């Protein structure tokens, strides 16, 4: 949830931040009083507005009533050091969801936020977007190429957002676009309290009518500004507004990567047919099992595959316990030209074996309606 906290007490604000971020919420702190409520609600449009310092004076509830009338989707929660039964009744009439003590005990604030989150989740439309996470089993496996070019193919079937989560060395945009990003995931993280569909879309580079990229920061130092709770908030907004969210994840299995994997419908480990890749793939799958991910969520993609390779698909499947294994053939010249010219391989070498494999890959993830009807449907159409 997006939370805006207003209080004249800096210490209270920091306590609120610890609780909210500890529950995975994005919170923006505002030092001041109730007079700031309307401006903050209009600008940030938070899910929850937590206001400290309105106590007993019924006249002060006019600020609350103004916000709840203008923004019925915003939940207002008050923190009061003292209050009367009359004040509680009038607060509820003004649209306040709950009134807590000030300062609020950690357990009470956590419980209130959990109740609000459950109610909002029950009343909001179900998320429909699918998160596809790509992660290299070994450096140089081609995970970014596959993620960016598969996203291009999926964009022919629905809206696609690619999120570059390689926060130190991310360059996903350069695989499909020759320009630079004016805004990155670090900019979104700094403004996380205002995050909504419009802000997310404005922060991306539109590389095709249905395909946008949220870039990693150019400055490596900015990557440390992106926290797991920021990734959580970004993916929550993304799946509510895009059919597919393709996430290019760095090889490090850190808290940022785990947040992405937690959201993933499928996790694709990208490898080549070598013993070193196979060893790393096994270690990665062991980590996924330790994290409690079901086996069917993970698949392996053997990139640059050649039928003459010493380690074939059957050997890989036996070594990794029968996991689903996809292959993308080796077409070095076509792929190299695609990367060097920042053109998707679907446009630079449409007849390439790699381009055809990616078409099949996208088809398996999102079959077109006319393709799914099968032979019987085609026979009826002919009749």
The structural domain count of the chain equals 2
pLDDT above 60: residue 372: no
**Spatial distance between the Cα atoms of 138 and 9, rounded to a whole number of angstroms:** 49
98 lies in the same domain as 189: no
* CATH number of the domain bearing residue 204: 3.40.50.300
89 lies in the same domain as 140: no
Q: Which of 276, 228, 267 is nearest to 248 (CA)?
A: 267
**Within a domain: residue 367?**
yes
Q: What is the pLDDT of residue 182?
A: 94
**Within a domain: residue 136?**
yes
Rounded mean pLDDT, 259-278: 94
Cα dist. 127→197, 237, 263 in Å?
13, 9, 11
203 lies in the same domain as 346: yes
> Which of 76, 96, 123 is the endpoint of a domain?
123
- Low-confidence winner among 92-101, 147-156, 297-306, 350-359 (lowest mean pLDDT): 92-101
Per DSSP, 171 falls in state -
Q: What is the pLDDT of residue 128?
A: 79
* CATH number of the domain bearing residue 90: 3.40.50.2300
Torsion 48-49-52-58 (CA) sign: negative
pLDDT above 50: residue 382: no
Q: What is the pLDDT of residue 56?
A: 62
Q: What is the pLDDT of residue 143?
A: 97
- Low-confidence winner among 55-69, 161-175, 322-336 (lowest mean pLDDT): 55-69
pLDDT above 80: residue 373: no
Q: Which of 190, 191, 216, 154 is nearest to 346 (CA)?
A: 154
pLDDT above 60: residue 383: no
**Spatial distance between the Cα atoms of 231 and 204, rounded to a whole number of angstroms:** 15
> Which of 93, 123, 153 is the endpoint of a domain?
123
Q: What is the pLDDT of residue 369?
A: 46
* Better-predicted residue by pLDDT, 35 or 382: 35
pLDDT above 60: residue 355: yes
**Spatial distance between the Cα atoms of 187 and 204, rounded to a whole number of angstroms:** 11
**Within a domain: residue 240?**
yes
Cα dist. 146→12, 14, 61, 134 in Å?
47, 42, 55, 8
Q: What is the pLDDT of residue 194?
A: 85
> Which of 123, 140, 172 is the endpoint of a domain?
123
153 lies in the same domain as 193: yes
Q: What's the chain's average pLDDT? A: 89
Other residues' Cβ atoms within 10 Å of the Cβ of residue 90:
17
Q: Which of 78, 117, 115 is nearest to 95 (CA)?
A: 78
First and final C-alpha spacing in the chain: 54
360 lies in the same domain as 221: yes
Q: What is the pLDDT of residues 299-310, one digit of tens each?
A: 999 999 998 888
**Within a domain: residue 344?**
yes
Q: Where are the alpha helices (DSSP H) in 131-274?
A: 143-154, 185-190, 197-202, 228-239, 255-263
109 lies in the same domain as 165: no
% of the chain residues with pLDDT over 70: 94
SS3 helix, strand, coil % of the chain, rounded to 5?
A: 50, 20, 30
> How many C-alpha atoms does 360 have within 13 Å on its Cβ side?
10
**Within a domain: residue 264?**
yes
Instruction: Quote the crossing angle between the two packed helices 332-340 and 353-365, to the nearest 10°.
Output: 80
Q: Which of 343, 8, 363, 312 is nearest to 145 (CA)?
A: 343
- pLDDT bracket for residue 57 (50, 70, 90): low
**Model's pTM, two decimal places?**
0.70
pLDDT above 60: residue 17: yes
**Within a domain: residue 285?**
yes
Strand partners, 266: 132
**Within a domain: residue 380?**
no
pLDDT above 70: residue 126: no
282 lies in the same domain as 148: yes
**Among 25-34, 96-105, 141-150, the range of highest mean pLDDT:** 141-150
Q: What is the pLDDT of residue 124?
A: 62
Helix H or strand E encompassing 81 = none
Q: Respond yes or no on whether the N-terminal peptide bond of residue 354 is cis (omega within 30° of 0).
A: no
Q: What is the pLDDT of residue 216?
A: 97
191 lies in the same domain as 70: no
Q: What is the pLDDT of residue 381?
A: 42
173 lies in the same domain as 65: no
Query: In terms of C-beta density within 10 A (0-12 exposed, 13-18 middle, 19 or more buried), how is residue 262 classed?
Result: middle
Rounded mean pLDDT, 133-153: 96
Contact 20, 5 (CB under 8 A): yes
Rounded mean pLDDT, 317-331: 89
pLDDT above 60: residue 12: yes
**Within a domain: residue 10?**
yes
11 lies in the same domain as 141: no
Rounded mean pLDDT, 247-266: 93
119 lies in the same domain as 134: no
Q: What is the pLDDT of residue 166?
A: 96
Domain that holds residue 159: 130-374
- pLDDT bracket for residue 368 (50, 70, 90): low
91 lies in the same domain as 214: no
Q: What contacts 184, CB < 8 A, 6 or more positions away?
A: 203, 214, 215, 216, 217, 218, 222
**Spatial distance between the Cα atoms of 87 and 207, rounded to a whole number of angstroms:** 54
pLDDT above 60: residue 371: no
pLDDT above 50: residue 200: yes
């Amino acid at each position: 949830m997006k939370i805006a906290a207003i209080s004249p007490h800096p210490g209270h604000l920091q306590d609120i931040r610890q609780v909210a971020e500890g529950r995975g919420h994005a919170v923006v702190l505002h030092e001041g009083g109730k007079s700031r409520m309307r401006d903050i609600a209009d600008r940030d449009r938070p899910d929850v507005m937590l206001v400290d310092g309105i106590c007993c004076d019924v006249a002060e509830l006019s600020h609350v009533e103004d916000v709840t009338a203008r923004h019925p989707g915003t939940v207002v929660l008050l923190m009061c050091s003292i209050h009367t039964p009359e004040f509680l009744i009038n607060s509820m009439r003004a649209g306040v969801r709950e009134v807590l003590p000030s300062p609020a005990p950690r357990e009470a604030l956590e419980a209130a936020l959990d109740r609000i989150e459950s109610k909002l989740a029950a009343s909001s439309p179900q998320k429909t977007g699918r998160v596809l996470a790509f992660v290299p089993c070994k450096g140089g496996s081609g995970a970014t190429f596959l993620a960016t070019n598969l996203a291009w193919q999926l964009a022919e079937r629905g809206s696609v957002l690619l999120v570059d989560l390689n926060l130190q060395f991310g360059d996903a945009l350069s695989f499909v676009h020759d320009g630079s990003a004016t805004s990155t995931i670090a900019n979104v993280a700094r403004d996380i309290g205002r995050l909504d569909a419009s802000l997310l879309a404005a922060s991306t580079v539109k590389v095709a009518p249905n395909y946008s990229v949220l870039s990693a920061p150019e400055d490596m130092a900015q990557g440390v500004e992106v926290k797991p709770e920021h990734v959580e908030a970004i993916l929550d907004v993304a799946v509510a507004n895009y059919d597919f969210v393709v996430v290019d994840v760095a090889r490090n299995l850190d808290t940022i990567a785990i947040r992405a994997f937690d959201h993933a419908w499928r996790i694709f480990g990208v490898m080549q047919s070598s013993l070193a890749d196979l060893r790393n793939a096994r270690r990665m799958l062991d980590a996924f099992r330790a994290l409690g991910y079901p086996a069917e969520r993970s698949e392996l993609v053997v990139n640059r595959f050649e039928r003459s390779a010493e380690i074939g698909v059957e050997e890989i499947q036996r070594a990794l316990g029968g996991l689903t294994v996809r292959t993308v053939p080796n077409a070095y010249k076509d792929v190299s030209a695609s990367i060097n010219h920042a053109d998707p391989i679907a446009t630079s070498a449409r007849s390439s074996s790699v381009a055809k494999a990616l078409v099949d890959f996208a088809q398996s993830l999102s079959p077109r309606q006319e393709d799914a009807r099968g032979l019987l449907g085609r026979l009826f159409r002919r009749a």
